[in-house]
Amino acid sequence: MKDVILSILEAAVTAKRTCVESNVDNLIKGTDLLTACLRAGGKVLIFGNGGSAADAQHLAAELVNRFQIERPPLAAIALTTDSSVLTSIGNDYHFDEIFSKQISALGKKGDIAWGLSTSGNSPNVIKAFGTAQKLGMATIGMTGRGGKIARCADLVFAVASDTTARIQEIHIMLGHILCELLERALYPEEFLPKT
């Protein structure tokens, strides 16, 4: 049992290190996209299915409430939380439409659509990116080894793993890095040494 625990730990640490090291430039680009969007009065719409839905809600909460510092709320909405909207769209149209219809209603040029899919092939995430791009929104995709999302998002964070748990752990870590870099970009004075 101890060997299994330590093996899981080693796999997680290795996967995280490899992913962050290979995504440093993407993390900077993502920070720049998010900073420009929020400075211009835009918002971030975050979405995914299952565990990725929970991660979308987690990241939206970090932006709206706070992450590391006391600061004004940042405009972010998780498109995974309104059960009436989700079930209405899923029932009247199709589950593939649950995010794209919300983006049509809530998104505008200059906003960001941030979709998470461990497989990279979630039809509703892919469709949402198409809708967002038609509106002039930037798209950020977080995925496993890539899938279709790697070909349709403007900025892609791909995790080189076939284990859903490792991919989800890394997505939330990348999201946390983006949150901290965003706070540092928007409120640099808060990170200066206190005298």
For residue range 10-39, what is the model confidence (pLDDT) as tens digits? 999 999 999 999 999 999 999 999 999 999
Confidence of residue 171 (pLDDT cuts 50, 70, 90): very high
Q: Is residue 175 part of a domain?
A: yes
- pLDDT for 194 beyond 80: no
Print the domain residue range for 180.
Answer: 2-186
- Identify the pLDDT of residue 102: 98
Count up the domains in the chain and report the number.
Answer: 1
- pLDDT for 195 beyond 90: no
> Residue 22 is part of a domain; what is its CATH number?
3.40.50.10490
Burial class (CB in 10 A: 0-12, 13-18, 19+), 189: exposed
Amino acid, res. 169: E
Is 68 in a helix, a strand, or coil?
coil
Rounded CA separation 42/30 (Å): 15
CA 76 to chain centre: 11
Q: Is residue 165 part of a domain?
A: yes
- Identify the pLDDT of residue 111: 98
Tens-place pLDDT, residues 64-92 = 999 999 999 999 999 999 999 999 999 99
- Identify the pLDDT of residue 77: 98
Q: Is residue 7 part of a domain?
A: yes
Here the tokens at position 177 are 């890095």
- Identify the pLDDT of residue 193: 82
Confidence of residue 116 (pLDDT cuts 50, 70, 90): very high
